[in-house]
């Protein structure tokens, strides 16, 4: 399994002190930014101007997770900000292949996310269009929810398909990832782990990142 990444979600950070909150996760691989529009999901966070400022001040690459309707229209603008990766939800995209290409054309890695009940099989023929597949391990919309074990077989099938394809795709999981659940997700084949409350809810975010990384790597090396 390729190198494992811990991407803390700033959804659980202090939104009025974002710059300082970024400095507390200096050992992370990337910053996971959750964009919600109160339409695709029943919650509202932040949009383009705020993501642009985070991108300007962040020492770490940005991994945007767009939980927004009409992804075809809005996602390319996030790629234009110079973010490392832009992930759209397939349920919100009318033309996911075109959208993945639009994101890549703008210099960002293209990620595609699936809600817990969305099957992966219909999309296996388009893996070559993607740099990352995100399997949601909670219903998107809120931090602090419980990891859904019913997503483990899907993670396993996606990991097998990625291995079989020979493509360098990352397999990301997001939702309920903690010291208690990260091993299950890693065993199933995930290699990029988003964690919000497990990182920012701890007194020492960098220490929480270290522990999560250690647990995930123990699985991939063992």
- CB nearer to ligand DX5: pick between 144 and 153: 144
Rule CB under 5 A: which residues touch Zn ion? Answer: 34, 65, 174
Judged by beta carbon, residue 21 or residue 34, the one nearer Zn ion is: 34
Strand partners, 63: 32, 85
C-alpha separations of 151 from 115, 166, 182, 202 in Å: 9, 23, 13, 26
The minimum distance between CB 33 and ligand DX5, in angstroms, equals 9
* Interface map 29-48 toward ligand DX5 (x if CB under 6 A): ---x-x--------------
Residue 174 is a catalytic residue: yes
User: Which residues touch 138 (CB under 8 Å, ≥6 apart)?
Assistant: 116, 145, 146, 147, 148, 174, 175, 176
Catalytic site residue from 34, 37, 102, 131:
34
Q: Rounded to an integer, what distance in angstroms lies between the CA atom of residue 104 and that of residue 101?
A: 5
* 14 is annotated as an active-site residue: no
Q: Which does 141 bind (CB under 5 to 8 A by kind): ligand DX5, Zn ion, none?
A: ligand DX5
Structure tokens at 43: 């919650």
8 contact, one of ligand DX5, Zn ion, none, CB 5-8 Å limit per kind: none
């Amino acid at each position: 399994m390729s190198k494992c990444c811990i991407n803390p979600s700033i959804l659980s950070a202090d939104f009025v002190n974002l710059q300082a909150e970024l400095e507390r996760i200096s050992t992370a691989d990337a910053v996971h930014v959750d964009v919600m529009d109160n339409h695709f999901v029943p919650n509202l966070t932040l949009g383009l101007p705020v993501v642009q400022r985070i991108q300007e001040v962040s020492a770490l690459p940005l991994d945007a997770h767009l939980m927004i309707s009409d992804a075809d229209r809005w996602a390319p603008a996030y790629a234009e900000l110079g973010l490392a990766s832009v992930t759209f939800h397939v349920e919100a995209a009318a033309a996911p292949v075109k959208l993945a290409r639009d994101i890549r054309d703008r210099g960002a890695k293209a990620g595609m996310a699936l809600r817990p009940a969305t099957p992966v099989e219909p999309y296996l023929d388009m893996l070559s269009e993607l740099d990352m597949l995100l399997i949601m391990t909670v219903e998107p919309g809120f931090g602090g929810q419980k990891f859904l074990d019913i997503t483990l077989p899907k993670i396993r099938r996606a990991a097998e398909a990625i291995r079989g394809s020979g493509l360098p795709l990352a397999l990301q999981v997001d939702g309920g990832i903690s010291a208690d659940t990260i091993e299950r997700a890693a065993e199933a084949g995930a290699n990029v782990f988003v964690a919000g409350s497990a990182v920012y809810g701890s007194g020492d975010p960098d220490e929480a990142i270290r522990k999560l990384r250690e647990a995930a790597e123990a699985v991939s090396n063992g």
